[in-house]
Amino acid sequence: MLVLTRSQIAGLLKFDEYVTVVGAAFRAHAEGCSIPPALMHVSAPDGEFHIKAGGLLTPEPYFALKSNGGFFLNRERYGMPNIQGMVILASASDGLPLAVMDSMEITIQRTGAATAIAARYLARRDSSVVTICGCGNQGRIQLRAICHSLPIRKAFAFGLTLEGSRAFATAMSAELKIIVEATEDLPAALRQSDVCVTCTPARKALIFAADVPRGMFLSAVGADSPDKQELDQHLLPLAGVYGDLLEQCAQVGEFHHGIEHGLVTREDFRGELGALIAGTARGRTSADEITIYDSTGTAIQDVAAAVAVYRKAKAAGIGTELDLAT
């Protein structure tokens, strides 16, 4: 069994490679070539654990289980990341554990990859301005993802503090060679934007229908448990709503808040990302349609990314080999 640290994983794959393997995995799921994903949420006194599991029935089948702990006072209290976790990768032929790896890099990259893919189908092709809500690790990859798929020339950064937003703006402007402007006025930023990505642990809505212009594409990344919410539920019936997996969106995503309030039903869900890729679901229907991608995060993404990382690491001789059976 191979053990991989975050630093070992970080340089193995380019973002393009994550986009490729995540897209292929979602398509495989849409075509019935997956082990149905499952998720569990466990609350802890100062945080929460998200456990996701699933597999891909490719010629060489794989299974992955990821446990991520979300402890959002970690940085303030202990100077350590708020998200802590690991991925276990196993053969889905015989159950043999193949690897244990840090989950941070995989989670960041695979989540960004899904947004990059969704933007291709759901954003207007001429989208040039984006608002990013959340200026942490996920905010950075989300801005990279949107710039990967769309001709972005300007971004607004809205974070927990203006200081943090400014630091994000300075770093990302230098990296991506676009204008990135820190803002405290989220509604004003939204009204000037073609795209918005929310990637916060918010438990009450940040984005309201009155501030969302016609034609906007929203990727809602933060809601991955029933008590999290970034979009006002009244926005959902005004938009074409898509997501990674309908069952998860209906249980823990933004879509579930709309269902809970009687504003939408499962029949209003336009399609999963895999169906968009496979061509069995239709994407944006007009230039002025509001579209939403409900990104709850899936084991499909985790196993795809973990397999790609594992193969690259084995080929390069990176990581530490352990034999658990001895």
Structure token digits, residue 62:
């794989």
Q: Given phi > 0 = left and psi -120 to 50 = alpha, else beta, which region is 263? A: alpha
The string over 273-308, giving b where at least 16 C-beta atoms fall within 10 Å of a residue's C-beta and e elsewhere, is bbbbbbeebebbeeeebbbbbbbbbbbbbbbbbbbb
Structure token digits, residue 124:
């207007």
Structure token digits, residue 90:
């196993």
Q: Helices 104-122 and 137-149: crossing angle, nearest 10°?
A: 40
The DSSP output letter for 289 is -
The residue from 14, 52, 66, 177 that is catalytic is: 66
Secondary-structure breakdown of the chain: helix, strand, coil percentages, each rounded to the nearest 5? 40, 30, 30
C-alpha to C-alpha distance for 313 and 90, rounded to whole angstroms: 15
Q: Which amino acid is at 219?
A: S
Structure token digits, residue 51:
């456990």
The answer to whether 186 touches 131, Cβ cutoff 8 Å, is yes
Structure token digits, residue 273:
């990302």
Structure token digits, residue 99:
């690897």
> Is 66 a catalytic site residue?
yes
Q: Which residues are known to be catalytic?
A: 66
